[in-house]
Amino acid sequence: MKKQTAGRDALGEFAPKFAELNDDVLFGEVWSREDKLSPRDRSLVTVAALMGSGILDSSLKYHIMHAKENGVTAEEMAEAITHIAFYAGWPKAWATFNYAKEIYAEDK
């Protein structure tokens, strides 16, 4: 897994501790525990958590792209979003599908 620097890049000067926790703990330690949960599965869980929480912004888009990089197919993403829609809400699914459709369209 490549070293994450997004926290430091975006918030390093303003919120250095948060940036450190984001880059080193969340993405450095938690995401690297592949013996516990694969990156692919972590990606699906993260998309579900963001969608369910109503976080329908660039972070959701990033994690859908990351899920694709981690091997989640377009069909699997569509199925996951459809499943989550019944628990998280239909409008959240529409918003998530818009990102997923854009991200997976690059394959065609």
Hey, where are the domains in the chain?
A: 1-32, 38-105
* Alpha-carbon radius of gyration of the chain: 14
pLDDT at 6: 83
Give pLDDT tens digits for 61-102. 999 999 999 999 999 999 999 999 999 999 999 999 999 999
Whole-model pTM: value is: 0.89
Per-residue pLDDT for 3 more than 80?
A: no
Specify the CATH class of 38-105 in words: mainly alpha
